[in-house]
Structures are given as structure tokens and as C-alpha cells.
Amino acid sequence: MTATAMFILALALAPSEAQTPASPQSPVIQKNNIRYQVVARGARLNRRVLGDVTDSVRGVPASPVDSLVYDGVGSTPIDAAIVILEVDPVRQTGMLRARWKDRNGSWEIFQDYFHHPEHSSGIRIGSSRGEVNNLINIGIAQNVYLHGDTGGGAPIFPTVFTYLAAWGFTHVTLDGEPFHNKYGLPGPERWVSHVMLTEGVRMDDGTVRALGGEIYNPARHKAVGAVDPADMELHLEFMDERFPMVMENNPMMFAFQYHLVFEDVLMQVTESQQPLSFAAADRLFGDQAD
């Protein structure tokens, strides 16, 4: 990630310097709330078929599939991948768009509806080091800890600081045709989605590791992971509802899951209500190179 991108992020997330007024003042009502625009490229598809395929969706294997591949086997760089996340955490609104090509075809997703997950939306440090605030019923969360031992999602990753996280329902197409959800929930036309902008979790070789360097195992390590605060990743996934569990899959709570991680991330803060096009998002990376 470039130094310029880190500087932009620091401006976005650092608190402003507050000044105490001499006398009480009425709050200033802004016409537009600040929006976060996140653009990411350089994706890896994390997916490995574990044996003879027993279930599939339009020819895409659903089971038995490992969608986490902690050992990096099956974490594969993919072509023409780009994701755009534009959200207003105050109003809990926004838009998620992505497109990429992989061994299964050309994918696109679109989402403009965000909804809180069934679990906690993350935890924040409270008023003392022994106290935390647990976020409930938040569809778009900022500056939280997720996964690991937080209760904010299963320990499919170690506890990881997350700059932005969002959940909801997304529409998916494969080779220009709707990729229907045959599992029923949340509906035949949509899938559950989760996106999170985090400190680095995957190594350059695609592995997820514990502090000792061994491959991460949620049953043994849970909160202890070799995360990299100097790195930034955007995780994007879509899946069916979590019941019933499929014991042959990893993770078992989904009959179908598709999981990408983007390694080249840019973030900016804007009051503009004009959404980025894919072409404009691509140009941002060119501007950074200049």
C-alpha cells in the first residue's frame, strides 16, 4: 500500500482537534454527510475443492470446498478484479460494486442495501482498558475489532482491527446471467454479503498464520494471529444463510461461499454524492503512481 494511501486513511480516521466554545453554540447541520470511498484491486480468490464435488451452483463447486485455505493452497491471484465500496456510516447507507474474472467465469456483484448481521458488529475499547463496547444492530461499522474472540463473527480469522465493515444482501451475476441462490435464504435473487477493510491478515503467499509462524487454526489460536498493522486488505465474500451446516465445507456454516481478498487498497473521504465508476476507480491507482 502506498504512503499516500496511508496518509489519506490517517486523515479519514484521525479525530479532529476539538475547540471548546466560550459559550454553548447550536450544532452545524451539514447538507451532506461524509462518505468513505474505498477502491481495491490485486485480488486473490481463496477457494479449494476438497474432493469429488457433491453440490454445485451453475457448475461452480459448492461442496466440499475450503473457502478459507489458511495454508495458502488455493489462494490464487485473479485477473481484472476491482471493488468499490462507498458508504455513509452515519446514515447506514451506501453501495458496493465489484467485478472480476476467475476460473469459473466473469463475476459482478451489486449491493445498495445494508443490514446488521445476526452476531455483534464488533467491539471497541471502552472508557478503560478492561472495558469494551459491543456494537449491536449496526449494518456499517467503523473502527472495530472483529472475529477472533470478539464475538463479532466466528473465529475464522484471528482478532483483527477493522477500519470499515459492512453486511447486507447482494445481487450476483456470472457471465452476465443472474447467479441464483438455490438454497432459499436470504432469497433466490440475492446472497448474504460481508465486506471488511482490515489490517493485514494474509501473507504474501496467501497463508494466514499465528504469532509463532504456524498456520492459523481457529480451534487452537482464535485471537492470536500474525496480523500486520502496516498492511491493509479488503475482504469480500458472499454466501447463503448459515443453516443448515455443511460438515464437508470450511467454514461449515455455509452451503456456498465465495471469498476474495484485495491487497491494493485506496481510501478517500468525500462529501460528493456522485458514485465512482469502475473507470474512475481505476484512474485513482494511476494517479497514485504519478
Q: What is the pLDDT of residues 200-240, one digit of tens each?
A: 999 999 999 999 899 999 988 877 789 999 999 999 999 99
Among 227, 285, 287, smallest CA distance to 1 is for 285
Rounded to the nearest integer, the mean pLDDT of the chain is 88
Ramachandran angles phi, psi of 183, nearest 5°: -85, -5
Strand 123-125 vs strand 177-178: parallel, antiparallel, or unpaired? Answer: unpaired
- Neighbouring CB atoms inside 10 A of 184's CB total 10
Q: What is the pLDDT of residues 147-172, one digit of tens each?
A: 999 999 999 999 999 999 999 999 99
Q: Is the pLDDT of residue 287 over 70?
A: no
Q: What is the pLDDT of residues 123-148, one digit of tens each?
A: 998 888 788 899 999 999 999 999 99
Strand 65-66 vs strand 123-125: parallel, antiparallel, or unpaired? Answer: unpaired
Residues facing 61 on adjacent strands = 56
pLDDT at 52: 98
DSSP letter, residue 147:
S
Q: What are the CA-CA distances from residue 241 to residues 94, 110, 116, 158 (Å)?
A: 22, 18, 14, 22
Q: pLDDT band at residue 10, thresholds of 50, 70 and 90?
A: very low
17 Cβ partners below 8 Å, 6+ apart?
Answer: none
**Could you give the maximum distance between any two Cα atoms of the chain, in Å?**
72
CA angle 17, 22, 28 (to 5 degrees): 60
Higher pLDDT, 199 or 22: 199
What are the helix (H) ranges across the chain?
3-13, 278-289
Q: What are the CA-CA distances from residue 127 to residues 52, 123, 130, 133 (Å)?
A: 52, 13, 8, 9
Please, is 29 exposed, middle or buried when counting C-beta atoms within 10 Å of its C-beta (0-12, 13-18, 19+)? exposed
Distance CA 55, CA 67 (A): 15
- Neighbouring CB atoms inside 10 A of 272's CB total 11
DSSP letter, residue 168:
E
Distance CA 83, CA 95 (A): 11
pLDDT at 285: 85
